[in-house]
Structure 1
Amino acid sequence: MAKWFRFLKRDQPLSVYFFAVPRLSLNIMGYWPEKSGDRLPWRSIVNFVILAIGVITELHAGLRFLDQQQITLALETLCPAGTSAVTLLKMFLMLRYRQDLWAMWNRLRSLLFDIRPELPDQRQIRLNHSVMAARINFWPLSTGFFTCTTYNLKPILIALVLFLQNRDDDFAWFTPFNMTMPAVLLQSPFFPLTYIFIAYTGYVTIFMFGGCDGFYFEFCAHLSALFEVLQSEIRSIFKPYKDHLELSPEQLYNLEQRMRAVIIRHNDIINLTMFFRERYVIITLAHFVSAGMVIGFSMVNLLAVSNNGLGALLYVAYTIAALSQLLVYCYGGTLVAESSAELCQVMFSCPWQLFKPQQRRLVLFLIMRSQRPMSMAVPFFSPSLATFASILQTSGSIIALVTSFQ
């Protein structure tokens, strides 16, 4: 067990941190990207079918509660149902773009680790981003795991309390999530198996969220590292000529060749970013829409059960988990945008005037292309910390509005 969580330590090799949480989560579910020609792991199909059954039965139960005008139960059911439905979409898209994600992952690894020669500060940049990505990715996975476990233990804890209080008349078993199941499966001897099946659907959702969302943030963190490595490389290129007033033809030629290599590498990073963004556009958009609905449902339910300690704990955990997943996307988008935009400032601060007029076009080309920050934008919005702050502000307004009607 300790070997699995080595990425939480600081003194591990870089290979331990590289996509540690996404690899762990997606390997468990059978969705880690593989190259063309590899057969799908059987557990990926099994988990997809299990979650599909869970989503259909949960949505049916939620709509039935709405039809019966049981609003609290409907919101309590539709909240995890929406999360599971988006997870099902993520599972489909992870399989759909399996080969593309594998190719992007390998290209990212080559850009990140095949740096020759490597400066000490460049290695530190890669280490800092790798450790940060592993630890931040572990946070939403752990909060989601805690939330799912709370859901799964809630019926057992309630039954235990009623048993200890000798309230046999009120004793009744119910499932962790509200799903429409045949009556025979909710009775002995099948009820324990049904309970385990329903509980497992929650863990499928959690590990797929941890894997898919973690893959997104890890990719963004390493793209940011690549932009910062380029900044370091530009500084190192011009550092020997900082006090020069003019360069010899040989020095100009060497400087030009190194600048051309930087521009080629910059273009590769931009192309990789755009290709990755296109593959994740549907996932990002669906995640933000579902997370907004989940946060709204959770807050309404939290205010409705504020006098119920266990229920309040459940929805607090659910809200924290949803906000943590949103933060992963928003912070990842901010890292890419800020590091890519800073490249033009670094370039402008170097003694680029040492170039001849014809060679200065390389500098202008790099500055012009990096003046427009790389964005992980999807239709209607762009994931960033500013977007996350707006979501928090809107959530606070909703809480204040609902509270005023109580």
Structure 2
Amino acid sequence: MLPRFLTSSLAMERHYFLVPKFALSLIGFYPEQERTLGLRLWSFFNFFILAYGCYAEAYYGIHYISIDIATALDALCPVASSILSLLKMVCIWYYRDELKSLIHRVRTLTEAQHSERKLAYKKRFFTLATRLTTVLLCAGFCTSTSYSVRHLLDNVLRRAHGKDWIYETPFKMIFPDPLLRLPLYPLTYILVHWHGYITVVCFVGADGFFLGFCLYLTVLLLSLRDDVNDLLEVSNIEESPNEENEARIVRDMERLVDRHNEVAELTERLSGVMVEITLGHFVTSSLIIGTSVVDMLLFSGVGIIVYLVYTCAVGTEIYLYCLGGTHIMEACSDLARSTFASHWYGHSVGVQKMALLMVARAQRVLTIKIPFFSPSLETLTSILRFTGSLIALATSVIR
């Protein structure tokens, strides 16, 4: 049995950005939160913990490159995700007003869709967004927790064999010596562990925003498709069009074209908000996945499990981006095909022009525009092929 929040029985308005709201609210970065002094201080504290963690991990990894490549990779692999999460945190804060406006406008447009078919679309895609972001949250939580579990198990085994406890943090980081000795060590350990969870909620929030917006815009495009088809439906093609009715259809078609223009504008605004996050994610995804797989080959025991979970989490992230982009592109193409396949030819010349205008506009597929590529499942296959090449190159060099 799935929890109720993962089922379609939950009210649709509660599904709306459910997981990103939960994740970002934990660290004080959800755009719709009231910015009280306490919340500002809490969000700054989390920003400082994440930023210092990125510095400490990167310093540790770079320091050990010439000493022990396996230890260096053990630090540099998670730091790539931490730096990317820091970028996502900064972008969410910088674009908080624009994100708040987008959240409100998309919510208003989706709530205006009331027919039985449209409610079915909402139920399907809203639930899908919640389930996929929950999978990402669970994968990230397991990844961060596994680092602490690995460290604790290693030290428990050392103590069982009469060896001393190694005063290190779950993630490989450089700290001043007093912070890695009693009595401050437990506090340092807890803060580093929390650093891992901040990393998780940042990418869950940002990736959840991207996927959610894509799926909610898909609902709007599918609803628009149904409205166009219903409006152009002709009961008897042999009858001559009624002038008064045709004039009404032209006015309705103009409103539908305006709706499509607004969806296109929202997609463009989303591209502007997400361009840095998406570009950074696609540029680093191959490197992160490749490093994780190489680490799996270098480590044994619990270390393999840690990086297996980590690889699944990063793979889920990039899959969500590509899936969201693909849904928008397919919905646009479907709108163009269904409009052209409708009974537009049974109407007056004015209606036919409006129908063909809709077809022409829908054929310009809406995409999340980022430099060099667009998120899609085709892009995902290219990334995985390039990742395989990186893994083969890295293993040949190490061996």
Please classify the TM superposition score into its range, dividing by the shorter chain length. over 0.9
TM-score by length of structure 1 reads 0.93
Contact 1:58 1:81 in 2 (8 A): yes
Equivalent-residue separation in structure 1 for 2:197 and 2:49 (angstroms): 11
The partner residue of 1:324 within 308, 316, 319 is 316
1:117-153 deviations in Å (ceiling 9; x for gaps): x321111011111011110111111111101000111
Name the counterpart of 1:71.
69
* TM alignment of 1:3-402, pairs within 5 A: 6-34=4-32, 41-66=40-65, 68-115=66-113, 118-163=114-159, 166-169=160-163, 171-241=165-235, 243-305=237-299, 308-400=300-392
Which consecutive unaligned segments of at least 5 residues does structure 2 have?
A: none
* C-alpha RMSD over aligned residues: 2.1
Contact 2:241 2:348 in 1 (8 A): no
Equivalent-residue separation in structure 2 for 1:162 and 1:64 (angstroms): 25
SS of 1:148's equivalent? Answer: helix
Equivalent-residue separation in structure 1 for 2:173 and 2:236 (angstroms): 69
Contact 2:286 2:386 in 1 (8 A): no
- Deviation of 1:171 after TM superposition, in Å, equals 4.1
SS of 1:51's equivalent? Answer: helix
Which consecutive unaligned segments of at least 5 residues does structure 1 have?
A: none
Which segment drifts farther, 362-371 or 321-330?
362-371
Contact 1:104 1:272 in 2 (8 A): yes
1:65-107 deviations in Å (ceiling 9; x for gaps): 12x3321111111111111111111111111110000001111
- Deviation of 1:31 after TM superposition, in Å, equals 1.0
- Deviation of 1:43 after TM superposition, in Å, equals 1.8
Contact 2:250 2:350 in 1 (8 A): no
Contact 2:77 2:291 in 1 (8 A): yes
Q: Look up the equivalent residue of 1:124 and give its one-letter code.
A: A
Give the percent of matched residue pairs that are identical in Structure 1 and Structure 2: 32
Contact 1:83 1:291 in 2 (8 A): no
Which segment drifts farther, 357-366 or 137-146?
357-366
1:234-259 deviations in Å (ceiling 9; x for gaps): 12212353645422112212221221
TM-score by length of structure 2 reads 0.94
Q: Following TM superposition, where does structure 1 have runs of at least 4 consecutive aligned residues deviating by more than 6 angstroms? A: 35-39
Contact 1:129 1:225 in 2 (8 A): yes
Equivalent-residue separation in structure 2 for 1:402 and 1:59 (angstroms): 20
Contact 2:328 2:366 in 1 (8 A): yes
Which segment drifts farther, 290-299 or 137-146?
290-299
Q: Look up the equivalent residue of 2:109 and give its one-letter code.
A: L
SS of 1:258's equivalent? Answer: helix
SS of 1:169's equivalent? Answer: coil
Equivalent-residue separation in structure 2 for 1:37 and 1:319 (angstroms): 35
Equivalent-residue separation in structure 2 for 1:211 and 1:153 (angstroms): 25
Alignment CA distance shift 1:215-1:314 (3 Å):
same
Equivalent-residue separation in structure 1 for 2:186 and 2:29 (angstroms): 28
- Deviation of 1:361 after TM superposition, in Å, equals 2.2
Which segment drifts farther, 14-23 or 356-365?
356-365
Q: Look up the equivalent residue of 2:135 and give its one-letter code.
A: W
Alignment CA distance shift 1:257-1:294 (3 Å):
same
1:343-396 deviations in Å (ceiling 9; x for gaps): 111110111113322342211211111112111131111111011112222333
1:297-353 deviations in Å (ceiling 9; x for gaps): 112111122xx1211111111111111000011111101111012111111011111
Q: Look up the equivalent residue of 2:304 and give its one-letter code.
A: A
